[in-house]
């Protein structure tokens, strides 16, 4: 089988970038038990794109209102005080999700009135890795670099926030500042990935690499590194398997990343059993 590298090379790179960038986000998002964030941001971006399309924007320009809506949602989430609102962050996400979905459907309902098609705006949630080009990689690569830089610079703050926002704030960490910045960055990364590689693949790459890493390692840095590695392997490996077996790319990546979680869970159980058989009753034995 001959492979057209010129066509597939950007797809391969985009798969690796999508896996790495969402794997990196996943450690915080899954560790804080807010996987719904991905869905929330996706519908906010969709609402933005729908109204951008109604306003006459097309092509890559639709990303601008989509990003603006996603960022506004992320900021609303980051700055809302659960204590004042008397609602958990998941409840706030539920409210924002229903609001943005309502706005998106309202906008879609208006397309007929303006004699336009909603297909382009709806395409924001249904991008496909198979059709990625270097132009898409040129958007994904710098955003992934910014994300990596953010995690490196605010490594200890993000580690504290991952443990507990309240504990971190009580210890004098600038939680609102760092958390809001993270949410803004996460929305940008997710929106761009939705547009380029598709929602289904992003949801799975957000959750699965982090879930697999949590099974296998202890320590924030190790969890980050392993989640990035598993995300990258899922993106690249899934694409190569799909190419070789002529399977749908997105679905193969999703199934591979899910299989890696299962493998990690089995390895963790086996390792735990071996440890129980060989370890001395350590200091925790009196619990």
* Residue 170 binds another protein, judged by CB under 8 A: yes
The nearest distance, CB 264 to another protein, in angstroms, is: 12
Near another protein by CB under 8 A: residue from 4, 6, 33, 114:
33
* Residue 274 binds another protein, judged by CB under 8 A: no
Separation between Cα atoms, residue 68 and residue 271, nearest integer Å = 46
User: For residue 196, which of 137, 121, 117 has the smallest C-alpha distance?
Assistant: 137
Q: CA 269 from chain center: how many Å?
A: 27
Near another protein by CB under 8 A: residue from 51, 97, 154, 179:
154
Phi and psi, residue 55, nearest 5°: -80, 0
Comparison of 27 and 206: residue with beta carbon closer to another protein: 27
* Residue 167 binds another protein, judged by CB under 8 A: yes
∠ CA 200-17-133, rounded to 5°: 85
Buried b (16+ CB within 10 A) or exposed e, 181-212: bbbbbbbbbbbbbbbbbbbebbbbbbbbbbbb
Comparison of 229 and 240: residue with beta carbon closer to another protein: 229
The nearest distance, CB 261 to another protein, in angstroms, is: 12
Take residue 60 and report the two structure tokens written for it.
């890559």
One symbol per residue from 193 to 232: x for binding another protein (CB under 8 A), - otherwise; what is it? ------------------x-xx--xxxx-xx---------
Separation between Cα atoms, residue 227 and residue 149, nearest integer Å = 16
Comparison of 33 and 113: residue with beta carbon closer to another protein: 33
**Contact residues: another protein, CB under 8 A:** 27, 30-31, 33, 83-84, 86, 153-157, 159-160, 162-164, 166-174, 176-178, 211, 213-214, 217-220, 222-223, 282-284, 286-287
């Amino acid at each position: 089988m001959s492979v057209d590298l010129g066509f597939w090379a950007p797809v391969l790179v985009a798969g690796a970038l999508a896996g790495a960038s969402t794997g990196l986000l996943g450690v915080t998002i899954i560790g804080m038990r807010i996987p719904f964030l991905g869905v929330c941001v996706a519908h906010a971006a969709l609402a933005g794109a729908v109204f951008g399309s109604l306003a006459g924007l097309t092509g890559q320009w639709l990303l601008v209102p989509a990003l603006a809506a996603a960022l506004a949602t992320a900021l609303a989430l980051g700055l809302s005080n659960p204590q004042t609102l008397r609602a958990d962050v998941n409840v706030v996400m539920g409210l924002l999700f229903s609001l943005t979905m309502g706005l998106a459907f309202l906008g879609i309902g208006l397309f007929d009135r303006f004699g336009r098609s909603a297909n382009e705006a709806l395409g924001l949630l249904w991008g496909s890795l198979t059709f990625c080009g270097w132009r898409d990689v040129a958007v994904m690569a710098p955003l992934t670099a910014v994300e990596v830089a953010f995690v490196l610079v605010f490594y200890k703050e993000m580690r504290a926030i991952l443990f507990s926002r309240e504990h971190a704030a009580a210890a004098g960490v600038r939680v609102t500042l760092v958390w809001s910045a993270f949410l803004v960055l996460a929305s940008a990364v997710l929106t761009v990935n939705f547009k380029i590689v598709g929602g289904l693949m992003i949801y799975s790459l957000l959750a699965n690499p982090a879930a697999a890493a949590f099974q296998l390692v202890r320590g924030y840095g190790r969890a980050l590194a392993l989640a990035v590695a598993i995300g990258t392997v899922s993106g690249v490996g899934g694409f190569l398997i799909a190419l070789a077996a002529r399977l749908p790319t997105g679905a193969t990546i999703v199934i591979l990343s899910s299989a890696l979680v299962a493998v990690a869970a089995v390895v963790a159980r086996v390792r735990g059993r071996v440890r129980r058989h060989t370890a001395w009753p350590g200091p925790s034995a009196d619990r």
